[in-house]
Amino acid sequence: MSLAIFDLDNTLLGGDSDYLWGRFLVEKDLVDGDFYERENLRFLHEYEAGTLDIREFLEFSLKPLSTMTPRQLAALHRQFMAEKIQPIILGKGRALIDRHRQAGDTPLIVTATNSFVTRPIADALGIEHLIATEPERLDGRYTGRVNGVPSFREGKVTRLTDWLRQQGENLAGSWFYSDSHNDLPLLEMVEHPVAVDPDDTLRNHARSRGWPVISLRDDKR
């Protein structure tokens, strides 16, 4: 099989699910609104600038999971999907996934956003295989800590390499679609890197390397 690897946020989605989850918690009065909104925005800007301390961010973003039961979290996520995620799933992204399936490729999402947020999104996109940052769980409850290597920047390469070994697969004929310069380590590994609605740094790099630059947004061609 050839892998069709996709980043999630701002690639298959017209927004950032991690940031939107934080906004959702603020809107539901489940966190300190002023503090959380300010820090959530700070971390987003640091991600965009390529200066994000992933461990600091995860300590912040995973903590609310530890304050609620699995049942509460499941109900909240259903609301989150309906209110925040379904409206930003990109139709052109779905079509791209379908084209790869029809070509015999295996879709895989590799995302820095944690699996609590992203597993239901991957399911909604019909994608079985997901590599995401894993929140630690103990006795069925989230602890607020991260388990293993976060799938961010070089961590995406580490996690994908482990996954390939476990699956007995390789990157022959592989594709990777991403919007972010943070994904350059993985983009450089695959046979077919594609910049999708990229940030300026990735756009310039893609052009210098002769990589395709595409848009999955309805208002762009």
55 within a domain of the structure (yes/no): yes
Domain that holds residue 189: 3-214
Tokens encoding 86: 């379904």
Residue 167's domain is classified under what CATH number?
Answer: 3.40.50.1000
Asked if residue 177 has pLDDT above 80, the reply is yes
77 within a domain of the structure (yes/no): yes
Tokens encoding 71: 């049942």
Using CA atoms, how far apart are residues 29 and 31, in angstroms rounded to an integer? 6
Question: With pLDDT > 90 as the criterion, what percentage of the chain qualifies?
Answer: 95
Instruction: Please tell me the predicted confidence (pLDDT) of residue 219.
Output: 55
pTM above 0.85, yes or no: yes
Instruction: Please tell me the predicted confidence (pLDDT) of residue 137.
Output: 97
Mean pLDDT of 5-31: 96
Strands in the chain per DSSP E: 3-6, 106-114, 129-138, 141-147, 175-178, 192-196, 213-214
137 within a domain of the structure (yes/no): yes
Q: Which helix (H) or strand (E) holds 20?
A: helix 17-27
Supply the DSSP symbol for 67.
Answer: G
221 within a domain of the structure (yes/no): no
Asked if residue 53 has pLDDT above 60, the reply is yes
219 within a domain of the structure (yes/no): no
Query: Which amino acid, 142?
Result: Y
Using CA atoms, how far apart are residues 179 and 138, in angstroms rounded to an integer? 34
Active-site residue identified among 9, 18, 105, 183 = 9
Largest CA distance in the chain: 50
Residue 9 a catalytic site member: yes
Asked if residue 82 has pLDDT above 90, the reply is yes
119 within a domain of the structure (yes/no): yes
Asked if residue 112 has pLDDT above 70, the reply is yes
Active-site residue identified among 7, 16, 183, 197 = 7
* 171 C-beta neighbours (distance < 10 Å), count: 18
Using CA atoms, how far apart are residues 175 and 169, in angstroms rounded to an integer? 14
Q: What sign does the dihedral 196-21-36-114 (CA atoms) show?
A: negative
Q: How many domains does the chain have?
A: 1
Mean pLDDT of 48-52: 93
Instruction: Please tell me the predicted confidence (pLDDT) of residue 1.
Output: 74
Asked if residue 221 has pLDDT above 90, the reply is no
160 within a domain of the structure (yes/no): yes
151 within a domain of the structure (yes/no): yes
